[in-house]
């Protein structure tokens, strides 16, 4: 899967990967919508790997339906 982030599925806004230092001192990654007026303001679960957070964000319900066919 690409490292490029898809726009927010709810408002079409820009998104960003955030990096935090977890309690154990390891990095944690999360992707979130940056638009303050987004009606949902979605974000991913925490991931230990940046690429995993991006994959979680870029996976859409429609993508999963296509794969099941």
Query: Model confidence over 20-60: pLDDT tens digits?
Result: 998 889 999 999 999 999 999 999 999 999 999 999 999 97
Q: 32 pairs with which residues across the strands?
A: 16, 43
pLDDT at 57: 96
3 pLDDT higher than 90: no
So where are the chain's domains?
A: 15-64
Q: How far is the C-alpha of 31 from the C-alpha of 38, rounded, in Å? A: 15
Residue matched to tokens 């990095």: 27
User: Euclidean distance between the first and final Cα of the chain, in Å?
Assistant: 19
pLDDT at 47: 95
Length of the chain in residues, anyone? Answer: 69
Q: 15 pairs with which residues across the strands?
A: 33
pLDDT at 33: 97
Q: Are 58 and 31 in contact (CB under 8 A)?
A: no
């Amino acid at each position: 899967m690409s490292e490029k982030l898809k726009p927010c599925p709810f408002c079409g806004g820009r998104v960003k990967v955030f990096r935090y230092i977890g309690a154990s001192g390891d990095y944690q990654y999360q992707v979130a919508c940056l638009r303050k007026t987004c009606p949902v303001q979605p974000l991913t679960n925490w991931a230990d790997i940046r690429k995993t957070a991006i994959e979680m964000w870029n996976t859409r319900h429609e993508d999963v339906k296509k794969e099941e066919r």
